[in-house]
Amino acid sequence: MSALPVTEADLQAWVDAALPAARRAEVEGWLASQPAEAERLGAYLEQKQALKSLFDPVLDEPLPEGLAALASPPPAAVVERPPKPLLERWSLQRIAAGVLIALVGGMAGWMTHDRYPSAESLAKSPLSLPRRAAVAHAVFSPDVRRPVEVSAENEDQLVAWLSKRLGTAVRPPKLGTLGFELIGGRLLPGNSGPVAQFMYQDATGQRLTLYVSTDNATNQDSAFRFAKEGQVNVFYWIDGKFGYALSAGIDKGKLAQIATAVYDQLDRK
Amino acid sequence: MDSRAILAEIPRLRRYARAMLGDRAAADDLVQDTLERAWSRLFQWRPGSDLRAWLFGIMHNLRVDQLRRPGLSTQSIGDDDLELPTRPTQTDALELRDIESALNHLPDEQREVLLLVALEEMSYADIATTLGIPVGTVMSRLSRGRERLRLIMNGDTANARLRVVR
């Protein structure tokens, strides 16, 4: 019988009972004549056993609450989306916006050669406003105890503070006629500077946030656009250096109505 | 992904993390981070594939990230650490603790393979997939890890020390 030479990998696999029966027999035949190797492998078997005895009790320890809770999905808003969304996850508006921007970017690129970023990166940048707004909404709106930094009771202070930090006058629109009352606001980091977030709530506890950034110096004005990030619907538009995004987990029609009211009020300021 | 399937894997993740890190709180933190990342990367999970291997892979990657992060103290394998105290008596409990301290003297990459084999009883191929390394590397780490552990347990620090160089 011409057995293959016994390798170190064979010996390790022997310890782990990972050899086919025939090979196992060959290795054991070889070990019978190699007492030093047999002893070494014996020590490895003991190690395995000792490690199991040492750590197996962890299996029976009661799970800490935090870990047991994580057997279920955390709130949906926190779940990341695939980096490259599938076609069906893109709303028509987003595709249209992307095509338009790609066209504009293409023309600009053709005219300016390599002085500006690629059409692809131009097409991506407007998506970052609704995404950032939706994430800020998802993070702060479920917060029961501290949804805002400064509450609406001190609206004057809130307005003065956010205006000062943003370096321009910002004022929360009044949405009482639509059933939403201001509960306050907070300051957040944006792409290149501070961003304000105003939060509203209706009688049922449904929350709505208006995200106001002032770092859109390079963007053209835009009409309303709609984006959906997980559970959060977002209407957003760009007005000069201001970028606005209205986010809530309410249906698109209702949100559009509120977005229109916000737009009208801001336009009249 | 089924919550019950995940729940069933948590004790195993904890056992492995405890063996890797030694410290209970740090180990549970790692398990928590692993589960959070798993839920946030759910789109990478292919239904029907091996849930355990996927979760262990996430934990491995998190740990690699942690170790790469500068400023985080990692276990040093100085020569002094390998001077093992001698005892007049040996009981089973002491032997267990002995292997625990010996285990801590292995480089992470060897300890990891050793524990996946010993505790998880994973196949070499599954370990290779989980850690993202070739099977040959799994075998050589296993072989070196076991041998070093044996030498340390025998108090043969001279030879164990010779092999400290990776």
Pair (A161, A238) in one structural domain? yes
Pair (A43, A153) in one structural domain? no
Is the alpha carbon torsion for A27, B99, B110, A60 positive or negative? positive
- Does A158 fall in a domain? yes
Pair (A141, A255) in one structural domain? yes
The per-residue pLDDT for range B86-118, each reduced to its tens digit, is 444 445 555 566 888 899 889 999 999 999 999
Residue type, A177: T
- Does A108 fall in a domain? no
Domains of chain B, earliest start first: 1-74 (1.10.1740.10), 78-166 (1.10.10.10)
Q: Which residues of chain A does B94 touch, with a Cβ-Cβ cutoff of 8 Å?
A: none
- Does A179 fall in a domain? yes
Pair (A135, A55) in one structural domain? no
The per-residue pLDDT for range A122-148, each reduced to its tens digit, is 444 444 688 888 888 888 888 777 788
Which residue reads 């656009």 in tokens? A225
Pair (A56, A131) in one structural domain? no
- Does A120 fall in a domain? no
- Does A98 fall in a domain? no
Nearest-Cα residue of chain B relative to residue A73: B39
Pair (A131, A261) in one structural domain? yes
Among A41, A55, A72, the strongest candidate for a mutation testing the B interface, having the largest count of B CBs within 10 A, is A55
pLDDT exceeds cutoff 80 at A105: no
- Which value does ipTM take for this structure? 0.80
> What's the domain range around A31?
8-60
- Does A65 fall in a domain? no
Between A254 and A83, name the one with better pLDDT.
A254
Pair (A133, A263) in one structural domain? yes
Last residue of a domain, one of A44, A60, A76: A60
Long-range contacts from A36-43, C-beta under 8 angstroms, 24+ separation: A37/A11, A40/B147, A40/B150, A41/A11, A41/A14, A41/A15, A43/B150, A43/B153
Q: What is the mean pLDDT of residues A169-197?
A: 88
How far does the CA of residue A1 sit from the closest CA of chain B (Å)? 27
Radius of gyration of chain B (CA): 17
Pair (A161, A252) in one structural domain? yes
Q: Give me the residue from A12, A53, A74 closest to B139, CB to CB.
A: A12
Q: What is the mean pLDDT of residues A16-36?
A: 92
- Does A89 fall in a domain? no
Q: Give me the residue from A52, A71, A78 closest to B118, CB to CB.
A: A52
Domains held by chain A: number: 2
Which residue reads 């109505």 in tokens? A257
Query: Which positions in chain B have a beta carbon within 8 angstroms of at least one beta carbon in chain A?
Result: 3-4, 6-7, 10-12, 14-16, 18-19, 28, 31-32, 35-36, 39-43, 95-96, 99-100, 103, 114-115, 117-119, 121, 123-124, 139, 142-143, 146-147, 149-150, 153
- Does A141 fall in a domain? yes
